[in-house]
A and B are shown apart, each in its own frame.
Chain A
Amino acid sequence: MKKHILAILVENKPSVLSKVVGLFSRRGFNIHSLAVGVTEDPEVSRITIVADGDEYILEQISKQLNKLIDVIKVSNISDESIARELALIKVHATPSTRNEIVEIVNIFREKVVDITKNSVTIQVTGDSKKLAALEEMLRDFGIKELVRTGMIAVDRGASAILVANGKKEG
C-alpha cells in the first residue's frame, strides 16, 4: 500500500498527541512513523505521521483528524518533498573491522559520533532509502542497537504550511 506523509499542526497541549494517535488506532489506520516537535510558534506543534493507505483511507484520516478540535491543519506532503529521518546505529567493532566500518560511513557521507574498543556509533541522516541502505551494509558487523527519529518533511519550493492564527488553509 502507498505511504503518505501527513503534516499535522496541533495546539501544543499535553493531551493532543494521545488524541491524534488514538484516532489512528481506533479507526484502524496504520502508523508507519511518527515525529513531534514545536514549530516557529511555541503554541503550535507539528506532528509528522507516515501512514499506509489508499486514497479513501487518506481522505478519511485527514477528515477525522480535522474534526479534532486541537488539530489546526492537516496537510498531505507530496512524494517529491524533502523528507529526512535521523538514526543512531551502534555496531559491533573489533580492531580488524573498525576501519572498514568507518570507510562505509564515509562513503555514505555520515558521521561516527562515538567509538569504544568494541563498538562504533554512527549518526545517519537522510530519507528512508538511505537509512535502509546503510543499515544493510552494517548488518554483517552486528548491529547492537538502532534508533530512528521518525520522518519529518517539508514541501520543496517557497510555499509553506502557515501556522498563522485562525488559518486552517495555509
Chain B
Amino acid sequence: MKINGAACMVKSLQAEGVEVLFGYPGGANLFLYDALIQSDIRQVLVRNEQGAAHAASGYSRVTGKTGVCMATSGPGATNLITGIATAYMDSIPMVAITGQVGTDLIGKDVFQEVDITGATEPFTKNNYLVKDIKDLPRIFKEAFHIASTGRPGPVLIDIPKDIQLDTMDFKYPDSIDLRGYKPTTKGHPRQIKKAVSAMMESKKPMIIVGGGGVIANATEELIAFAERMQAPVATTLMGIGAFPSSHPLSLGMLGWDHGVYPAKQAVAEADFLIVMGSRMADRSTGKREEFAQSARTVVHIDVDPAEIGKNIDIHIPIVGDIKNTLQGLLSQEFHRENPEWIQQVQNWKKFTKGTGAGDGANGLDPMEIIKTLSRKSSNDTIVATDVGQHQVWTGRYYGFEKPRTFLTSGGLGTMGYGLPAAIGAKIGQPDKQVALITGDGSFQMNLTELATAAQEGLDIKIILLNNSCLGMVRELQEHNCEKRYTQTTLKGNPDFVKLAEAYGFHAIRVTRSEEIEAAIDKLLSYDGTMVAEFIIDPVSNVIPAEKA
C-alpha cells in the first residue's frame, strides 16, 4: 500500500525506535505533524526551535539515544541552527528534521524559504535535502546511523512539502551502504602495545579523559585502567562524570584557567600522558607549546582520527572508541605502583581554588551554594548548566560520580542551553532528579522554555545564581580591559520569584548564607518545578582577583 512521505517519516522514526520528538509546527512541516497524530511518538512542543534542538540534546545525553527535533522551513529552520551547532561541537547524536518549501519553488526565494542544508553544512555531520520520495527511507536509515556511530553528531534532513505528500510503497532498508563512512572503533593492537610499553617506562603517568569517555560509556574500563596503572585522572569539562570525582585517583576538572589546581599541576609534571576522547581544545590546554612540558610520551586515543594531534603534539596515536580501546589496553599484562607520584597528587588535592567572594555583605559565595547542592543531592541527580561563571564553578565544585549526569555546552558555549537541556533530560529520565544551575544572563536567553516545562508537568530544580550581571564577561573585562565594565550589568532583570510564580512554579529568594542549606533542602524535596534564586556576590570570579 502506498503511503505519503510524511507517513514514511513517521514509520522511519518508529523503525529507529524514536519515542520523543521535540519541535515546533509551521506551514512547511504541517503534513509531518499531521502524520504524527497517528503515531505513539511523544511530541513536545517547545516555545522556540532552538529549545527543541537543546532539549533533544539533553534527552540524548541522559539516555544515550539519538535525539530528534523538528522545525518548519525558513525561520523555524534557522532557529534550530544554534542548537545544531551546539550538538555538533559536543558530539551529540541528533537528527534534525525541517520542512521545506515545495521542490518546484526551491531557489525562488518564496515565503519562509531558506537553504538550510547549505547553512548547516559546517556543523552537521551530514545533511540531506530530499528530492525524491524514493530516497526518504534510505536517508532516514543513513541519518540515524551516521548520527549515532563513530564520533556522534547532528544530521539534518530537509523535506520539501511536495515530498511529504508524494506517495510510495514504504520499506525501511535493512542495511546501509556508505562507502565513504566506515569509522574505526577498535584501537590497533600494535599501537596499544606501544602505549603500554611507554607507560611502563614512566614514573608519573596521567590520564586525561574528555567527552569521548562519556559517549563510549567507558567508565567501568576507565576505573579499572586507572587503578591498574595507578595514574591520576583529570577530566575535561565534557569528560566530567566519566570518572567518579570521589575516587582517590580523581584530579577533577582540567582547564588552563578554569580547571582545578591538582589537574593543572599533574599535567605540568606528568612524564606520560594518555588523552582519551578529547580534542584538547584551548580551554583545556592553554597554549600548545606550553602544554604538558614534562611529558616524554603523549598517547592520544580518539574515534575521530582528525582530532589526533590537531591541537596538541603527540607521540602515539590510537584511532578507536574509548571503551574498545581501553578493553584492548586492559587485555595487556601490566601492573604498576607509583606511590610517590600518587602521594604528590594527594597533596595537591588539598588545595581548593575559591571564588574571591566577600564576607556575605554583598551576596553569597557561589562555591558554598554548589558544594551544598553537591552534598545534598544523590549521585543519580542530573545537573544541567548554562554557560558562564556558574558553569565553571559547577565543573569545579560539584562532585559528579556518574557519567551522563552533567549536561553543559562545552564546545560552542551556548548560553541558554541549560533550561531546554534539563527539559529534555527530565523527559528522557523521568525517574531521576534533574537540576539546572544557571545565571541571570543565561537563564534569560531561553527563559521562554519555562512554559514547556509547565506544559509537560516537569519537575526541574532550578538554582539561579543571580549577580545581576554577565559575570563571565564582566570578569574578562576586569582581567583584560582594566576594569572598564561595559554592557555587562543587567539592569532590567525581572523579579525572578514572581516570574517563576507566573508560570505556576514555586520560587524562593535566598540572600543569607545561613539560609542556603534549608533552601537546597526545600528545593530538592519540593514536588514540582521550583526556582531557588541565590543573590551572589558580584565579585565572585572564576579566576579570583588578587586581594590587595
Interface residues in chain A, defined as those with a beta carbon under 8 Å from any beta carbon in chain B: 10-11, 15, 18-19, 22, 26, 59-60, 63-64, 66-73, 165-168
Contact = CB atoms under 8 A, between A and B. Distances in A.
What 9 pairs between A and B have smallest CB-CB spacing? A63-B306, A69-B126, A72-B180, A69-B181, A166-B179, A71-B180, A72-B179, A26-B122, A64-B306
A167 B179 contact: yes
Interface in B178-233: 178-182
A93 to B, nearest CB: 43
| Chain B: number of interface residues, binned into ranges | 10 to 19
A97 B180 CA distance: 54
B180 A68 contact: yes
Contact of A60 (B126, B179, B306): B306
B125 interface: yes
Interface of B: 117-118, 121-122, 125-126, 129, 146, 177-182, 304-306, 309-310
Contacts of B121: 15, 18-19, 22
29 contacts: A11-B179, A15-B121, A18-B118, A18-B121, A19-B121, A26-B122, A59-B309, A60-B306, A60-B310, A63-B306, A64-B306, A66-B305, A67-B304, A68-B180, A69-B125, A69-B126, A69-B146, A69-B178, A69-B180, A70-B126, A71-B180, A72-B179, A72-B180, A73-B180, A165-B177, A165-B179, A166-B177, A166-B179, A168-B182
Q: Identify which of A15, A22, A66 gathers the most chain B CB atoms within 10 Å of its CB.
A: A15
A18 B121 CA distance: 9
Contacts of A168: 179-180, 182
Contacts of B146: 69
Contacts of A22: 121-122
A10 B129 CA distance: 18
Nearest to A61: B306
Nearest to B146: A69
Contacts of A64: 306
A15 B180 contact: no
Nearest to A163: B179
Contacts of B177: 165-166
Contacts of B181: 69
Given A18-B121, A67-B304, 10 more contacts: A10-B180, A11-B179, A15-B129, A19-B121, A26-B122, A60-B310, A68-B180, A69-B126, A69-B181, A166-B177
A63 B303 CA distance: 12
A154 to B, nearest CB: 21
Nearest to A70: B180
Contacts of B304: 67
Nearest to B306: A63
B316 to A, nearest CB: 16
Nearest to A72: B180
Contacts of A67: 304, 306
A73 B181 CA distance: 10
Q: Please indicate which of the listed interface residues A26, A63, A73, A168 has the most CB atoms of chain B within 10 Å of its own CB.
A: A63
A64 B125 CA distance: 11
B173 to A, nearest CB: 16
A63 B308 CA distance: 10
